[in-house]
Amino acid sequence: MKSTPVRDQVKDHLLTPKNAVLVIIDYQPPQIITTVSMDRQTLIGNMRALIKTAKAFDVPIVLSTVNTINGRNPDTIPQLKELLAGVPSIDRTSINAWEDEEFYQAIKATKRKKLIIAALWTDACLLFPTMDAIKEGYEVFPVVDCVGANSIEGHKAALQRMVHAGAQPVGWNSVACELQRDWGRHETVTGFMEAVKEQGHGWGWFISVSQEIEEYHNYKGASAMQVQGTQPPH
């Protein structure tokens, strides 16, 4: 088995750790609680996996909240905030993050043109910056299993509008596999697998169960007890 040489990770047409940035917008309690288009716990679990994936591949992260400094909204939910230590949070008043100067400059500062974006809600804080970014020549990849809206209809309509404008919908697992690309790139396999196993759905459950079965068959407890002069219970 021999893989082809690693392509230029800056110029590659696919997502790579060197040409992409993860954009996270408004994962705050009011937005989470009022999302009804998908199960909220699944959404949070998927977002944790997406963030852990980005960190495993050293993909830069731009994080934003709305109306936190002025006291109207709480900060990013703790389940995600704990994974984002060291990532500055850009607070704004604009519904469209692209119309906030600090956010806009943070995106430009990454010098990356592929935006992996997750935001709440789909039909507002995801839709608007996606449309603006595409207009300015960015490639935008909305992570559809990490986002939601106040209604299923609104969620679907917003995704359709983005796709018509040129957005490229992805799932968090697709992002992870696209960044990894080759199991022979050993330096990122562990981080990738940790994200998959923690998420626990899809194929993550299979990996966890397989490891548990292997550990069971390799268990040395009985032998250890016999060495100590005791017998296992019958």
CB within 8 Å of 121: residues ≥ 6 apart: 26, 31, 34, 35, 147, 148, 149, 150, 154, 155
CB within 8 Å of 59: residues ≥ 6 apart: 17, 20, 21, 22, 53, 116, 179
Q: At what angle do helices 189-199 and 40-56 cross, to 10 degrees?
A: 170
Query: What is the rounded end-to-end Cα distance, in angstroms, of the chain?
Result: 48
CA distances from 50 to 6, 88, 100, 131 (A): 23, 18, 24, 22
d(CA 88, CA 226) in angstroms, rounded, equals 55
Cα angle for residues 48, 54, 59 (degrees, 5° grid):
155
Instruction: Give the closest residue to 201 by CA, choosing from 156, 141, 122, 145.
Output: 145
**Which residues are 142's β-sheet partners?**
117
The CA dihedral of 41, 44, 45, 49, to the nearest 10 degrees, is 170
| Residues involved in catalysis | 125
